[in-house]
Structure 1
Amino acid sequence: MPRPTKCRRVCHYPRMVEFRPQGTPENRQPILLTVDEYETIRLIDGEGLSQEQCSASMQIARTTVQKIYESARRKLADMLVSGRPLRIEGGEFRLCDGQGTGCGVSACFKQSYHQQYRKPEGDPIMRIAVTYENGQIFQHFGHTAQFKIYDVQDGKILSAQVVDTNGSGHGALAGVLTALNVDALICGGIGGGAQMALAAANIKLYGGVSGSADAAAQALAEGTLTFDPNAHCDHHDHAHGQGHTCGQHGCGGHCGEH
């Protein structure tokens, strides 16, 4: 029986998940680059890490990094030479929640968040995050500077506090929410890439909501929140919402370390 593939730790979901050469027909089949392949490119070529440092960050063997990296480079070469579109999705990965060591070349702020907002195993508390600005639900998920975090049990809000996002944006925010041990997110507009990142982190999304953050969190706690399951924000990732359904490879659940 083959050994199960070990989940590769990814610092954050890519901000942009689709690239299309100018003039390419819309129906041309894209090259699929997995999220873990993207991460090796980001760390080795983007951050300048060695393969050994990359393996520490992703928490996998260096030989595995080498195979993933070589596959990613071949796909990027194919995209450039053949002029095919590229789409990033799927793979065997989990978003970094601040646990463990080897996060790049320096300590990650998500480590302190994970420790500060840790929930005991089996804790019945539901943790809700709301994109937040001056008491209201901030309407652009990828640009939110703060979340308001609510702990809820038996339909009642037990506590609430405002948390800074440390300048994170788009896909990186899903990693922040993972480190905060969030179960659900309330927001206004949200791009398709961020939606996939939340799905990969097993965070329930309630989009298209506006008004008071406190009122929305209370409504969700009571099971009466009105939201838009098709909420989308088009100003930064116009193509992200096409053809993706959760439950596929890479959308959470398949990695035992989630």
Structure 2
Amino acid sequence: MVRPKKERVVGVPSSLSYFKPGGIPLRQLEETLLTVDELESLRLCDLEQLSHEEAGRRMNVSRATLGRIVREARRKVADALVHAKALRVEGGNYRITEEMRLFVCSGCGKRWEEPYGTGRPDGCPSCDSVKFHRVWKEEAEFPESE
């Protein structure tokens, strides 16, 4: 029996449903399906330039799983660009979380965000220290002077 796929956490809901080459009506184009979680993997890895480990943590999947998701997403985007296909964005196994939790490392002072529902981080993404704490949004807006 195949293990069920783990639900991926998507931080930003996409209003994009189609992306297509200009000048050609959509009905005349072949299309490639890009799932919402694949689009999120591209956003995290290529746009925000996060490591696969950090992006996987945000999406609530392992580093290896994130690598497979982003590799497939890049293949699909390249196929659409090279062969002038429309990209249709929909589907996938995901849940949207727009709220983020803010953490601060006591060791190096790094501040970072994690989506709700992903559990406690393993360590600081900058120095791997486990000495970090959660900061509420009000505290983040008015940081203590150093």
Q: What is the TM-score when the length of structure 2 is the normalising length? A: 0.66
Structure 1 counterpart of 2:74, one-letter code: R
* Residue aligning to 1:14: 14
Number of residue pairs matched by the alignment = 108
Q: Aligned to 1:107, which of 106, 109, 113?
A: 113
Backbone CA RMSD of aligned residues:
2.3
Higher relative contact order (CA 8 A, sep 6+): 2
Structure 1 counterpart of 2:47, one-letter code: G
Structure 2 counterpart of 1:6, one-letter code: K
Deviations 1:139-181 (A, max 9, x none): xxxxxxxxxxxxxxxxxxxxxxxxxxxxxxxxxxxxxxxxxxx
CA distance, structure 1, for counterparts of residue 47 and residue 14 of structure 2: 13
> What displacement does 1:65 show?
0.4
> What displacement does 1:99 show?
7.5
> What displacement does 1:100 show?
7.3
> What displacement does 1:101 show?
8.1
CA distance, structure 1, for counterparts of residue 7 and residue 22 of structure 2: 35
CA distance, structure 2, for counterparts of residue 68 and residue 33 of structure 1: 11
* Residue aligning to 1:232: none
> What displacement does 1:106 show?
2.2
* Residue aligning to 1:85: 86
CA distance, structure 2, for counterparts of residue 6 and residue 59 of structure 1: 8
Is there any run of 5+ residues in structure 2 with no aligned partner, and where? 104-110, 117-146
* Residue aligning to 1:42: 43
* Residue aligning to 1:94: 95
CA distance, structure 1, for counterparts of residue 77 and residue 51 of structure 2: 19
Q: Verify: 1:3 aligned to 2:3, yes or no.
A: yes
User: What's the secondary structure of 2:9's corresponding residue?
Assistant: strand
User: What's the secondary structure of 2:76's corresponding residue?
Assistant: helix
Structure 1 counterpart of 2:19, one-letter code: F
* Residue aligning to 1:194: none
CA distance, structure 2, for counterparts of residue 29 and residue 64 of structure 1: 28
CA distance, structure 2, for counterparts of residue 78 and residue 22 of structure 1: 16
User: What's the secondary structure of 2:26's corresponding residue?
Assistant: coil
User: What's the secondary structure of 1:31's corresponding residue?
Assistant: strand
Identity within the alignment, %: 39
* Residue aligning to 1:236: none
* Residue aligning to 1:63: 64
> What displacement does 1:25 show?
3.4
Is there any run of 5+ residues in structure 1 with no aligned partner, and where? 112-258
User: What's the secondary structure of 1:70's corresponding residue?
Assistant: helix
CA distance, structure 2, for counterparts of residue 33 and residue 59 of structure 1: 19
CA distance, structure 2, for counterparts of residue 101 and residue 77 of structure 1: 35
Structure 2 counterpart of 1:9, one-letter code: V
Q: What is the TM-score when the length of structure 1 is the normalising length? A: 0.39
CA distance, structure 2, for counterparts of residue 101 and residue 63 of structure 1: 25
Structure 1 counterpart of 2:43, one-letter code: R
Contact 1:57 1:101 (C-alpha < 8 Å) held by counterparts = no
CA distance, structure 2, for counterparts of residue 55 and residue 25 of structure 1: 37
CA distance, structure 1, for counterparts of residue 102 and residue 82 of structure 2: 38
